[in-house]
Structure 1
């Protein structure tokens, strides 16, 4: 076995028809060798067994650059992928088709000129290059035979159809243990919340459905339930670091069972071809999973600027009495100044009403406007559909008693809404705080203060503002002087 050397150097300097390479740069190296082998003569390159998410796992910017270089050389590419997979590297001279999942194997074979390169995904990754005309011709004919039988994709890359297809495969694979979340599951999630010892922001119907949203008839996501353990399952994108749709398991509740989570994640990885995330874990749960084959999130972060999405920064928990007392004392503070400014300018014009189907369209308008100037939108973490479940599928019970959601009007105009749900006997989580703060300065501060007033009246002591994706959001919450911080963990299951 050779050392880690550029593949083109091996091919040029060694007379043997066979060369090997190992390391994390094998995809880039093969693309470089295609470039050198075919030069500006054009021609076709055939790729089979392609899982683009593995292609893009290491240095995706360089891979995209090299792929475009092939197109610029007039080289045409044909790519065979697993049925339902997107292929984002498509270009004017690139085609891709689907082969059935039961015939698909992610061992990538590339045929170009008189060479055949085979990529073996392991640790480390390896590539075997054979330079022999007869062998390349045989592989080329096999590829064309598969190509003729392959299905032409009916959807564009990264579409919701691909996401839904993954969800259907998951339900079929697991039978009754995995199913779509519906409004009928509200009691199930409440029962498990009451039994769960970890009082976290994730222990709510609002949160699980928001984290796993976009799947199923009600678009509330998937759930795993085996009678002892309950968890949400979402499918989200990891486009900022390359790759496509990734499964994430959300806040396992009930009897924490590492072996069941391991089996679940193995199947999810097999279905998607990419690592699987497990989020909202205590440190003890994280360590137990690391001990049986999971990897730390540092090995495969969720986002380039937010490694653990909404758990990148710790959950911040307020004492509602302390927040309200802070507004009464003579000592000046930024919160007190901002709150009083809003009250003096807009207080007489501000009214509230329960969030319901009658004003749901106005709530959606607020979300759309909010995202027009939301800084976090630049990170491609949140999207407007993340609030669909908040607006249309509240938790079980009466608004104002079992959960709290209101729409705020200023001068009759819908300007904000919020949604809260209890996560323990004395603590409530805030799951939506959506304001048109550019039109109405300090509305965000006003809304959280009013949430504290509402909870104090209802007999709750603490308000959990949740974790944060960015330091800017974390620092905004700091002005309310949190009395507790709770850092939840992520792990990843990968090959």
Structure 2
């Protein structure tokens, strides 16, 4: 196809001028001239690509997979044509939308510096010195959500500034993180994210901020971790629903696609102690019988940071095999290097797990209220050590119980599979946070 890409583009334009719809599925990288025509052109993996045949029904609609004219097949039967049409759209919905631009750190930095210059002292880089500020706003905020933590805001806004913790908006009354992420699964380009506004919620200030962010980036701006009431206020102010411009093709609202799941730590520990059988109890006891005597914990600190990065990178290699591309290894840099204010195992809880001396996982928890902590990293080599993920969360419940906390917020989920995994711990409450988008 690359041999005659200009001819394909010309043919597509001629058909479009006649109000005839054309949709092309090609190998990744084919026809770069069509990258700005994302509504008609998508890439599919090599193993799904089938160059023949072409199926045509009637003289009004053509569903084109690809092939030479000599291989065209006229389908007279409506049911057969409809079956091919459904198969095409199944492939279409799984295909990758070609990116419209290249993504560089320089471009991301330009957007960060641009909003800092435009907003003066109200937008600045987050540094380790801001930990007390975020702690104060967490304590004052009425919404006890998973997002009310230094871990979460900096994880969602990672990669920029002297400490690589992202940006913050602070006007004395309202505090929010600002991240810059690549919407790679739906066409690409750097997009600003305003993350978890805390304090005095001000729709007008968020509108002005988003207007400037849109002007600087040229693409819509996301605001995430909102209550239903906050979402409705922003919709009334001129924002749009996330359905109109979703963040990711696999997860419309990323980690808020499915609601936050909140565990009663006492109930979880009781569940594995009682005689009644359960899937969680079976998995937990299986791990203990196989690896329990070999499993040790140590505080996650700079001394073992290099091993922590190795665990995260290996975990994401496994996700690549499964073709889940929602987050990335650098999302955990802040958890490894910049914990919240205070001492580990008192003000927050982060540890590395070893099995027979080998680094096998890590976790990080931070309180979001007087009786609740959130789990912000749960990374395990569960391919090598089956049921280590279940064992880790049970041990997190045990640590929180000993520290005087009643609840563990596991956060929201990107996928139904992750949500279902958390369900085995029998959550006692759910909290669905909202996203909106500001667009022209």
Equivalenced residues, count: 363
Is 1:451–2:379 an aligned residue pair? no
Corresponding residue of 2:415: 470
Q: Deviations over 1:239-284 (max 9, x none)?
A: 2111300001000000000000000000000000000000000000
Instruction: Extract unaligned runs of 5+ from structure 2.
Output: 1-8, 18-32, 44-97
- Show structure 1 runs of 5+ residues with no match: 1-27, 37-51, 63-86, 91-156
Query: Is the aligned partner of 1:301 residue 2:246?
Result: yes
Per-residue CA shift, 1:297-326, capped at 9, x if unaligned? Answer: 001010112100000000000000000000
Q: Quick one: structure 1 residues 218 and 59, their matched pair in 2 at CA, closer, same or farther if it must change by over 3 Å?
A: farther
Return the match for 2:220 from 262, 265, 275: 275
Pick the structure with greater CA Rg: 1
* Equivalent pair of 1:224/1:231 in contact (CA under 8 Å): yes
C-alpha distance in structure 2 between counterparts of 1:312 and 1:30, whole Å: 39
Deviation at 1:379? Answer: 3.6
Partners of 2:138 and 2:221 lie apart in 1 by 24
Residue 265 of structure 1 aligns with which residue? 210
Please give the alpha-carbon distance, in whole angstroms, between the structure 1 residues aligned to 2:207 and 2:100.
32
Distance in 2 of aligned mates of 1:476 and 1:296: 28
- DSSP-derived class of the 2:298 partner: strand
Tell me the equivalent position of 2:335.
Answer: 390
Q: Which residue of 1 aligns with 2:318?
A: 373
Write out per-residue CA displacement over residues 354-413 of structure 1, whole angstroms, 9 at most, x where no aligned residue.
000000001001001111112697242110000000000000001011000001111011
Corresponding residue for 1:315? 260
Residue matched to 1:432: 377
SS where residue 121 of structure 2 aligns? Answer: helix
- RMSD of aligned C-alpha atoms? 2.3
Distance 1:226 1:311, change over 3 A: same
Which among 10, 13, 21 is matched to residue 32 of structure 1?
A: 13
| Closer/same/farther in 2, CA of residues 442 and 239 from structure 1, 3 Å limit | same
Does structure 2 retain, via aligned residues, the 8 Å contact 1:376–1:382?
Answer: no
Instruction: Find out whether 1:61 has 2:42 as its counterpart.
Output: yes
- Structure with greater contact order relative to length (CA < 8 Å, sep ≥ 6): 2
1:56-75 Cα offsets, whole Å, 9 max, x none, are 6755639xxxxxxxxxxxxx
CA deviation vs aligned residue, 1:325-352 (integer Å, no higher than 9, x gap): 0011111011000100111111111111
Q: Distance between the aligned counterparts of 1:446 and 1:269, measured in 2?
A: 44
Contact 2:100 2:187 in 1 (8 A): no
* 1: CA distance, partners of 2:109 / 2:119: 16
Tell me the TM-score normalised to structure 1 length: 0.70
Map 1:213-228 onto structure 2 (within 5 A).
213-228=158-173
Aligned residue in 2 for 1:177: 122
